[in-house]
Structure formats: C-alpha cells, structure tokens
Amino acid sequence: MAIVGSIIKGVIELADSVIPEENAAKEQHKVLKHLLEKAKETKFGKDHSFETILESDSIETSFALNVPYYDYNSINDKYWKFLHDGQENLTWPGSPEYYALSSGTTGKTSKRIPVTEEMLDAIRKTGIKQVGALANFDLPADFFEKTIMMLGSSTKLKEKDGHLEGEISGISASNIPYWFRGYYKPGVEISQIDDWDERVQKIAEEAKNWDIGALSGIPSWMELMMKKVIEYNKVDNIHDIWPNLQVYTTGGVAFGPYKKSFNALLDHPINIIDTYLASEGFLAYQERPETKSMKLSLDNGIYFEFVPFKPDYINEDGSLVADAPSINITEVEKDVEYVLIISTVSGAWRYLIGDTIKFTDVERAEIIITGRTKFFLNVVGSQLSVNKMNDAIQIIEDKFDMEIPEFTIAATKIDNEYYHKWYIGSPNNNTNKEEIASALDEALKEANKNYKVARSKALKGVMVEVIKPEIFHAWNERNKKKGGQVKMERVMGEEKFKDWESFVAEQ
C-alpha cells in the first residue's frame, strides 16, 4: 500500500475541503488596493497619482481613468529599461532580483520582464493551489509518491548587472522549495544544461531510472523529448519507460492541435491539465476534470481587467487604442472574447499581455485562452482568431486522419487578389493539399460568419502547403532557441512570411 501517497492525498483533499470559495470582486479589490499601496511611492505611482486613486470612492474606476494601457515596449521605454542602469523604485519598490527573458512568438529580440520576490511567491502559491486541485481528479494514492518531469528552459541563470535572468520556467524551477526537490526531475544537474539537445539526451539516458507520474511543459518540446526517450530506449511508447505516467500539465499554447500526435506517444490516455503560466505571472490553472477551462488566480498578486475583443479597439500591431473601454471581474459576460490586461506585484501596470480569453463560467471565474491580439488575422475583414484556426485544424486532423502539431498562416496577395496561405506541419504529407484547403475553408466558413462574408468578397481563397513538423522546430531554433518557452507564431506578417517561405524552400 502506498502509505506516504495516501497521507499526501489525504492532506490535499482536506486542504481542498476547508479552503473557502473566494468572492471574486472582494479578492480583486484587495489585490488592487495592495498593489497601489505598495507602489504609491514609486516613480510610476507618483506619475499616475496612486495616492489620489486610493482616496477615491471607487479605486477600480479611478485606476482605469488615471492609468493608460501599457504594452512591453511602452512600459520598458518609459520605466523598465532604466532599471538596468541601476535606478530603483520605478514601477515597484526596489529593483527586481530576476528578469524573465521572453521573445514570445513575435521576434528575435528578447523582452526582459522584471520578476520580483513577491511574484515568485505568488507563482509558488498558485502552484500549491494547482496541486491542491489534483484532489478533484480521482488519482490513486500512489500517484502522489511519483516524480514530476518539468521540462522548461535551463535553470542555469545568467548573472547580469546584479540580477539573474533566464526564461520564467528556468527561474521558477531554480526556486523550487527544498522539500520538493526529491519529486522533481530531471534534477538540478541536468536542468542546468543550457543546450537543449544535450539536456534531452541526458534525460533519455536517465529515463529508465525514474518513476515519472506527471509531465509539465510546452507540448511541442514535450513531444520531442518523449520521442527521444522512446527512440533511445528502443521502446514502443512512453508508458514502456514510465508506466505510472498519469498526468500532463500543459501550457503556453493551446493543446488541441497537439492532442493527436501527443496521444500517439502513449499506451493509454492520461489526464491533461491546462495551466496559464506566462513570463508575467501564473495567471490561471485548471481546477476540475470535467472542463478544460482554467480558474483565474484572483487573490494572488495579479489584478485583471478585460477589454472587449473588437477590431475597432485593436491597432495593426496588436496593441490597444488608447480609449478602448475596460471592465473588471464584476462586469464580464460568458462567451464574450476579451483582451486580457494585468497589473502585478512585479510592477506591470494595465499591461497588455497579448492574449485574448473567454469566460466559460463567470461564477467560477473560469476561462479559456482564445488567441493572441497579434495573431488576429483581419485582412479584408476575415476576423480570424487563433482558437478558430485551432478548431479548424482539429477538424482536418479527424477528416483526413492526420497529425498536425504545427501550423502557421498569413494573408498573401497574388495577382492583386488576397489569399490565406497555410503551412501545415504533419508527418502525413501524402494527403492532397487542395482537398485540405477546401476542407479548411469550409470549416472556417461554418465557424466564423465574418470569414464567410470575407470569402464572398475580397478574400479569394485558401492555399495549403504540407511540410514536415521538424521545419517548424528548425525555424524556431534559427530565430530564437530550442526548448523552454519558445512557441511557433500562428500568424505572420508579410515580411516575416517572405522570410519563412525562403527558409522552407531551403530545407
């Protein structure tokens, strides 16, 4: 009998049963008030009248009126970049201990996002809540004695100008509590290897010595790791190496397009649990097995605002127009798409994180991520969001019995006519691409009335190229780096798409 596991499971279930349900409005009010009180003496707090906001009848309303929207470039140019010159108390008291490097899906240049001790504490607390939520997933007691494989970026952080920097997954893993290290794989030594291929090779060599019960990481890189473990150990699937694997916590991108190729590496289905950990914080986690939605972390260092996702409110570069209206958690509606705005204990203020979300359950504050503001394809009025693209790709997978873990799309002009051109990454490249294009077109027409109207007017048609998934990985490696938080951009602008097509032609 798994005595230790039974004890751990019992503690988790007890903790889950005694934690009271939070009141969303009350918790968010407390978070905003704490943020304003903490930062009122900073340069940002003085520039934006935090003292006056705190004295107002409604700090939520006053905050929205006094503080404009910021994205990374605007807050970095005005405040964060001066932290690197030794200035302090700019957007948060003191100076940050860490910087999360993030090129995201938009470019070669890394963003350097401040990560404070308060934020690391918030990430840990939300992580504990997620562990507590495992009580809802009907897992056997012995699961809680297994180890967890956390596949992120290197934990060997680089020291620069008195602080440490790396990707958020590496920063978080390097701050794992001492008591948890016995449950954590690949362990301190391997996780510090900076080269992705070398790190995965070491994992493959050690894999048979580990009893892995859970995996955590971005789907594309998790798949590559599992393939390497399977290949090196000459087995049929990952359960031949890790028979007790029962949980995969995914994040960073929608899991849907990876579902088929991921499951092909397993002997039997496992629990897939969604998380929302970004460079700016741990925003949400899946609390229940009967939904794929995630619960916003409303009481833990992040204040949320929501802007209706409408073309009139979005600039061409994906930023918000200055007068776009925002609402707070008390005003959101189910099934309405919003641009997510956050203010945090790392000194991000009314910050456009770049994601769009939709509430699936307002009372539980549960959301799904629907896409990116920069990946909103609206050339000739098609209003095509990433979630619609993901849904269409899954229809194609089922219709043609294909695995399509990667894709990218751009609006391109041919003979003065607009087309949507898709590059689909699939090992099944013998399917007729004209048939795929037609099926994609029909799926999108059915799912999106704006797309259907665009197709009857200025959008001439759909074109498809089917290429090997490895080309997408090679592109990411050329432009950024393998592994970690690196994700493939789903929508490309004209110039980048030209570069992409030249790259594909060379492969």
Q: What stretches of 60-110 adopt beta strand conformation (E)?
A: 98-102
Kindly provide the residue ranges of all beta strands, DSSP E only, lying in 313-432, ordered along the sequence.
337-344, 351-361, 366-372, 406-414, 417-425
Q: Are 408 and 490 in contact (CB under 8 A)?
A: yes
What DSSP designation does 289 have?
A: T
CB under 8 Å to 333, separation ≥6 — which residues? 359, 362
Residue 427, pLDDT score: 87
In the predicted model, what is the mean pLDDT of residues 198-203?
Answer: 93
- Whether residue 6 is predicted with pLDDT greater than 60 in this model: the reply is no
Lowest mean pLDDT among 82-86, 129-133, 218-222, 369-373: 369-373
Give, for 229, the enclosing helix (H) or strand (E).
helix 219-232
Crossing angle between the packed helical segments 59-66 and 24-39, to the nearest 10 degrees: 50
Please report, for residues 43, 64, 146, 294, 316, the alpha-carbon distance to residue 23 in angstroms, rounded to integers and kept in the order given: 32, 21, 35, 17, 37
Q: Provide CB contacts within 8 A for 321, sequence distance 6+.
A: 312, 313, 314, 315
> Confidence band (pLDDT; 50, 70, 90) for 480?
low
pLDDT at 18 > cutoff 70? no
> 214's torsion region: left (phi>0), alpha (psi -120 to 50) or beta?
beta
pLDDT one-digit tens code per residue, 25-41: 999 999 999 999 999 99
- C-alpha distance from residue 307 to each of 61, 64, 74, 315, 477 (Å): 14, 12, 18, 13, 34
pLDDT at position 376: 64
Cα-only R_g, the chain: 23
Q: Give the pLDDT of residue 179.
A: 66
d(C-alpha 152, C-alpha 168), whole Å: 9
Calpha distance 246→272 (Å, rounded) = 9
Angle at which helices 494-506 and 469-479 pack, to 10 degrees? 120
Q: Is it the case that residue 167 has pLDDT exceeding 60?
A: yes
Task: Kindly report, residue by residue over 335-370, the tens digit of the pLDDT.
Answer: 999 999 999 999 999 999 988 999 999 999 999 988
Q: Is 383 left (phi over 0), alpha (psi -120 to 50) or beta?
A: left
pLDDT reading at 307 higher than 60 = yes
pLDDT level of residue 184 (50, 70, 90 thresholds):
confident
What is the reported pLDDT for 390?
85
Residue 60 predicted with pLDDT over 70? yes
Measure the CA dihedral 39/279/186/108, to 10°: -140
Q: What is the pLDDT of residues 114-148, one digit of tens each?
A: 999 999 999 988 988 888 888 888 888 888 888 99
The mean pLDDT of 223-251, rounded to a whole number, is: 94
Q: Is the pLDDT of residue 103 over 70?
A: no
d(CA 370, CA 276): 12
